[in-house]
Amino acid sequence: MKGLAAKASETNSGQIPSQGALAGVRMLFVAPDDYPAFRVDLVELFSNHLVGRGLKIDWSLRPFEDGPARVDERGAERFYVAHRQMNGKLGSLRYRVAENWLRLKLAWRAARGDYDLIQVRDQPLWAITYGLAGKISGTPCLFWMSYPVLEGRLRDALENLIPMSWPARLVRIAYAVTGNFLFHKVALPLSSHVIVQSERMRERVGFRGIRMEKMTPIPMGVSTERYNAASIRPVDDPRVAGKKCMAYLCANVVSILTYLTFDALAELVAEGHDAVLVLIGAVPDFERDKLNARLEELGLSDRVIFTGRLPLAEALGWVKRADVCLSPFMMDAAQQVATPTKLVEYLAMGRPVVGTVHYDQNEVIHGSGTGFVTAYSGEAMAEGVARLFDDPEKAEAMGAKGPAWVKANRDYARLADAVERIYVDLLGKQRASELDSGELTQATS
């Protein structure tokens, strides 16, 4: 390993690393996320906090728009972008070939020892390629499991949550089942460390034979500097003037969860509440007609506002305007191990919440005292919302507890301490291993 690791080995892994412990360390980070990155954990945890502590990152992400192959440099970060020209199925195939070729070239660089750390996020089979590269070069390779990708794909295919043909469904099912075996039996054993999203995810992966001490839970969080209610102006929109307002914040508005919020709104209106629902997020084309048809059926078309994808400040302006924020969440095999981001975003903004039964949501809402947990039904959610609508002073007092709880438990500054500790510990172990190998070579020569 590089001389940089010598500094890392001097840091006690039982303490929060000092500023600069990662100075000069270069990491290759491979992920399926869009470029430019918009997910808050990538932007805040890595590009803000860890880069701010000296980490240099070479990113391999997927370009959101068409463009040539290139390397974009932004300070300590380099973004490797494959050529993308999505003109029909042939364009999609060409892009996939270009992306795979780029990632193989990056894997070759990793195998040569060009990096101090390798990290793969939510790409289970690529973890095998980069895990082998790490073994060849002696570079620590981590897998970041923010979501059980293969279980999610299996659920989508079995329940037909994403429109696809029967042959496509069968291919996806076969891929998920085969990939799940390879992931747990090959990819994770090759990894130097595994970062999971929750303690429950850690337990589940542990049941598949991965040592518990090899895994560390790092939940989703927020940056309390950006999610700061004092710096956000609430939206002033005539469509919500004088009405009780519920907000549902999500990256993509999809029917399987959104129907629940529609049902809750219908119950509230039937009980006499002059309420509106604001859906903050992009609506996929294949969902739009289904959502509109459901609203017409319920007679709620004039009581639901679709904002589309918004800049963060505007999205948070809607959250701040809301009287109650909603966090419906499924408890299937893929989702029960998650740590829902929207919930802590609501809390950071000081809003009272109603969330459905879910392991992490139960702990967060009960631990912070910021709202109510209900059964997974529109009627139950409506009852929780009505309790907050009917006692606005209590609702505001509950919401006011959120920012302090988030600051203490889910601020990305704190989460960055934990991630830095993992990196420094791995670099220290690698350096110690190199020193031992060198001493053994000298002793036998």
pLDDT tens digits along 57-71: 999 999 988 999 999
Residue 170 predicted with pLDDT over 80: yes
pTM (predicted TM-score): 0.83
- Tell me the pLDDT band of 437, cut-offs 50, 70 and 90: low
- Tell me the pLDDT band of 72, cut-offs 50, 70 and 90: very high
Q: What is the average pLDDT value for the chain, to the nearest integer?
A: 90
Average pLDDT on 110-137 reads 97
Q: What is the 3-state secondary structure (H, E, C) of 190-227?
A: HCCEEEECCHHHHHHHHHCCCCHHHEEECCCCECCCCC
Residue 239 predicted with pLDDT over 50: yes
Beta carbons of 337 and 204 less than 8 angstroms apart: yes
What is the per-residue pLDDT for 178?
Answer: 94
Query: Distance (Å, rounded) from C-alpha 340 to C-alpha 41?
Result: 12
What's the pLDDT tens digit per position in 369-413? 999 999 999 999 999 999 999 999 999 999 999 999 999 999 999
What is the per-residue pLDDT for 3?
Answer: 41
What is the pairing mode between strands 70-74 and 56-63? unpaired
- Tell me the pLDDT band of 15, cut-offs 50, 70 and 90: very low
Residue 97 predicted with pLDDT over 50: yes
Residue 151 predicted with pLDDT over 80: yes
Residue 174 carries which DSSP code?
H
Query: Distance (Å, rounded) from C-alpha 349 to C-alpha 401?
Result: 10
Q: Which of 331, 149, 353 is nearest to 249 (CA)?
A: 353
Report DSSP letters for 251-271, one per residue. EE--HHHHHHHHHHHHHHHHT
- Tell me the pLDDT band of 147, cut-offs 50, 70 and 90: confident
What's the pLDDT tens digit per position in 23-69? 999 999 999 999 988 787 899 999 999 999 999 999 999 998 899 99
306-309, Cβ contacts within 8 angstroms, sequence gap of 24 or more: 306/253, 306/279, 307/278, 307/279, 307/280, 307/281, 308/281, 308/282, 308/283, 309/251, 309/281, 309/282
Residue 17 predicted with pLDDT over 70: no
Q: Please count the other Cβ atoms lying within 10 Å of the Cβ belonging to residue 292.
A: 14
Average pLDDT on 311-339 reads 91
What is the per-residue pLDDT for 439?
Answer: 60
Residue 22 predicted with pLDDT over 70: yes
What is the per-residue pLDDT for 438?
Answer: 64
- Tell me the pLDDT band of 139, cut-offs 50, 70 and 90: very high
What is the per-residue pLDDT for 255?
Answer: 76
Report DSSP letters for 75-122, one per residue. TTEEEEE--B--SHHHHHHHHHHHHHHHHHHHHHHHHTT--SEEEEES
What is the per-residue pLDDT for 280?
Answer: 94
Share of the chain above pLDDT 90, in %: 73
Average pLDDT on 109-121 reads 97
What is the per-residue pLDDT for 163?
Answer: 75
Establish how many alpha carbons lie within 13 A of residue 6's alpha carbon, considering only the half-sphere containing its beta carbon. 3
Residue 445 predicted with pLDDT over 60: no
What is the per-residue pLDDT for 360?
Answer: 95
More confident residue, 91 or 74: 74
More confident residue, 37 or 248: 248
Beta carbons of 84 and 98 less than 8 angstroms apart: yes
What is the pairing mode between strands 70-74 and 77-81? antiparallel
Q: Which of 280, 290, 289 is nearest to 250 (CA)?
A: 280
